[in-house]
């Protein structure tokens, strides 16, 4: 069968750098850091006392008081970011003759309602210690489960197509993008709202990742703590927020006359099949997933100008990914721009793929490469000839770009965006 083309017609963001997609993008290009000391709880007794929090987000500006209480922050972020993307794509515009049975929602999260779980468990531990019977909020389960965000987006907009959640740790929202891409190109949907959200800046989130020794502990200077590819990197910085993207069948979008940002040209998946949390030391899975994405897009390494890397600022992960790029791209690796936007946003876990796909497709649209900030000292483990776009955005023609995400469990997912041609 003839596969259909898939394009991006709407974007939305709630992020540590801004609470709209334009604000997020401008902050990325400016090289701003979203990291600071944690305000959501007292972190003074934690090994890591900072994170990339969402700022100036008041749920009562978006929801009634009763509705806000029924939603975990990860779902609040999902709904608000998707509202922006849906409005941007004009899916709910008056007189818009779309078939809502063919509009889907595929949402993702790595953890879901961790704050809700933490609060309910904590309250009932106190009840037990006081000799009181257990007492749970009737919204405990609907607030916590990570598929509920897709349900809320569907219900609010009367989108009656496929509706489900994807979870593959930090690769979750890239996997969601690939699922949505496949449904549309197979003709099973006209458009799909796809993305991811996370709100894990909590005691459990910080404490759990601290116990794994995964987080930076640079408490003296949080804004410079996320240092992908720097000699002194010491772990990732936890982030939160949401990225939302409307994917649409190309002819459907043209008929509606909406702006097209970029074309989603291909997606790849692979497994490291190596370790629960550590990447394969030679980047086996990372190389395979990029190769699979290029094959799906029917593109060659010479067609790619930019890679938005997973680049978490961990000692092992950054080395593994750089090795994979050199191994797959060969001499073309030295013609690429490479950047790790987690240096600015922190690591949004299950939402990382969506927010970084947004950064990648905007690079394709605008011909600007966001930087890898906080580079101070070269690490001899990395080839000095690779262009990691250190510290300052760079302007160049971006014909096509790859966005990589890798998750605990060895899950790898990559997508390829390219400029739209007739």
Compute the distance between CA of residue 140 and CA of residue 118 in angstroms, rounded to an integer: 11
Alpha-carbon span 244 to 11, nearest angstrom:
6
Residue at token pair 């190769």: 291
User: Residues 6 or more apart from 369 whose CB is under 8 A from it?
Assistant: 306, 337, 339, 363, 389, 393, 394, 395, 396, 398
Confirm if 112 and 144 have CB atoms less than 8 A apart.
yes
Question: Could you tell me which of 134, 65, 147 has the C-alpha nearest to residue 105?
Answer: 147
Residues classed as catalytic: 170, 310, 347
Share of the chain residues as helix, strand and coil, in percent rounded to the nearest 5: 40, 20, 40
What secondary structure does DSSP assign to 62-95, as a single string? TS-HHHHHTS-HHHHHHHHHHHHHHHHTTTT-TT
């Amino acid at each position: 069968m003839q596969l259909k083309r898939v394009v991006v017609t709407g974007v939305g963001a709630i992020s540590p750098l801004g609470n709209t997609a334009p604000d997020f993008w401008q902050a990325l290009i400016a090289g701003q850091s979203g990291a600071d000391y944690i305000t959501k709880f007292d972190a003074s007794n934690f090994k890591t006392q900072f994170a990339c929090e969402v700022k100036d987000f008041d749920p009562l500006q978006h929801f009634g008081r009763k509705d806000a209480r029924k939603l975990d922050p990860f779902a609040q972020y999902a709904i608000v970011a998707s509202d922006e993307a849906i409005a941007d794509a004009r899916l709910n515009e008056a007189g818009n003759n779309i078939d809502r049975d063919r509009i889907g929602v595929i949402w993702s999260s790595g953890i879901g309602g961790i704050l809700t779980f933490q609060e309910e468990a904590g309250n009932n531990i106190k009840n037990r210690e006081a000799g009181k019977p257990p007492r749970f909020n009737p919204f405990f389960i609907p607030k916590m489960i990570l598929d509920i965000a897709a349900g809320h987006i569907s219900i609010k907009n009367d989108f009656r197509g496929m509706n489900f959640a994807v979870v593959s740790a930090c690769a979750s929202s890239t996997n969601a993008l690939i699922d949505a891409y496949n449904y549309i190109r197979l003709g099973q949907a006209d458009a799909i709202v796809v993305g991811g959200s996370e709100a894990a800046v909590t005691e459990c989130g910080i404490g759990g990742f601290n116990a794994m020794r995964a987080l930076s502990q640079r408490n003296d200077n949080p804004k410079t703590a996320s240092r992908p590819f720097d000699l002194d990197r010491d772990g990732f910085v936890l982030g939160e927020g949401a990225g939302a993207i409307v994917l649409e069948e190309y002819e459907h979008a043209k008929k509606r006359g909406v702006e097209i940002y970029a074309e989603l040209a291909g997606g790849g998946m692979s497994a490291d099949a190596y370790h629960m949390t550590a990447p394969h030391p030679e980047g086996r899975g990372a190389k395979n997933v990029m190769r699979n994405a290029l094959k799906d897009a029917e593109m060659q390494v010479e067609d790619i100008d930019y890679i938005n890397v997973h680049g978490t600022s961990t000692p092992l992960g950054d080395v593994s990914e750089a090795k994979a790029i050199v191994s797959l791209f060969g001499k073309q690796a030295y013609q690429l721009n490479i950047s790790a936007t987690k240096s600015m946003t922190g690591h949004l876990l299950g939402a990382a793929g969506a927010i970084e796909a947004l950064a990648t497709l905007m690079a394709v649209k605008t011909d600007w490469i966001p930087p890898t900030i906080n580079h101070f000292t070269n690490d001899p483990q990395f080839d000095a000839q690779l262009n990691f776009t250190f510290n300052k955005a760079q302007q160049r023609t971006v014909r096509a770009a790859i966005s990589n995400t890798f998750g605990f469990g060895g899950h790898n997912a990559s997508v390829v965006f390219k400029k739209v041609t007739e």
